[in-house]
Amino acid sequence: MLQDCLQSGTLAMMTIAEDRKETLAQMVEAFKFIEQQAGSVSAITEAGNQMDESRNDEIKIQDIMSSIRLLHRTIVKKDEKEKQMRYGNQKVF
């Protein structure tokens, strides 16, 4: 339990920001850093919990990372679309 709290607390501290878009961008960067240090998530083999294989309340890091990346892409595209609608084809300086 303590290890789980430390992990989620560390990720939370790495991703504090003023707005949601910036928070998601920082989370994407944090996951990139973790992948650089630990290797690709898809390359890491899951050892499995041999003491309690029946547990099904675990969430895989791959699912979290893909969800965060999808949320970030969605917000970035939405912002770009809003800027295009607001300014049209005009160049914004």
70 with 22: CB under 8 angstroms?
no
Q: What pLDDT does 42 receive? A: 64
Average pLDDT over residues 44-60: 59
Whether 49 maps to a domain, the answer reads no
Average pLDDT over residues 65-83: 92
Domain count, the chain: 1
Whether 30 maps to a domain, the answer reads yes
Tell me the average pLDDT of the chain: 77
Backbone angles phi, psi at 89, to 5 degrees: -95, 10
Whether 16 maps to a domain, the answer reads yes
User: pLDDT per residue over 5-46, tens digit each?
Assistant: 766 777 777 778 888 889 889 889 888 888 888 877 665 545
Distance CA 53, CA 84 (A): 51
Distance CA 24, CA 59 (A): 19
Whether 18 maps to a domain, the answer reads yes
Q: What pLDDT does 77 receive? A: 95
Domain holding 26, by residue range, is 2-38+60-87
Query: What predicted TM-score, i.e. pTM, was given to this entire model?
Result: 0.63
Q: What percent of the chain has pLDDT over 90?
A: 16
Whether 72 maps to a domain, the answer reads yes
